[in-house]
Amino acid sequence: MNENDARAAVTTALLGIVPDADLDAVGDDGVLRSELELDSLDFLSFVEQLSTSTGRRIDEDDYPALRTMRSSITFLAG
């Protein structure tokens, strides 16, 4: 998966949870959970949607890699 595909997957997953989110305002380095006010269930939904859309297994140990848009993209594209 390249970075553009990873960005699209992260964006789609986040907008599926927070449809009115202004991801441009969050930026690539904003902490997603705090900036978008994601509770633990929202975050798990985000992880599940990413896993489903990318076909990549995401374990609990991988959650810190999904902290920001940039780190999520790097994780998925890596």
pLDDT along the chain (78 residues), means of 10: 96 96 95 96 97 96 97 96
Say if 28 falls within a structural domain. no
Residue-number span of the structural domain to which 37 is assigned: 3-17+33-77
Q: Would the CA dihedral through 61, 62, 66, 70 be positive or negative?
A: positive
pLDDT at 70: 97
Q: How many domains does the chain have?
A: 1
Say if 51 falls within a structural domain. yes
Interatomic CA distance for residues 9 and 62, integer angstroms: 16
pTM over 0.75: yes
Cα separations (Å) of 55 from 20, 47, 49, 63, 70?
Answer: 26, 11, 10, 16, 19
pLDDT at 78: 87
Say if 27 falls within a structural domain. no
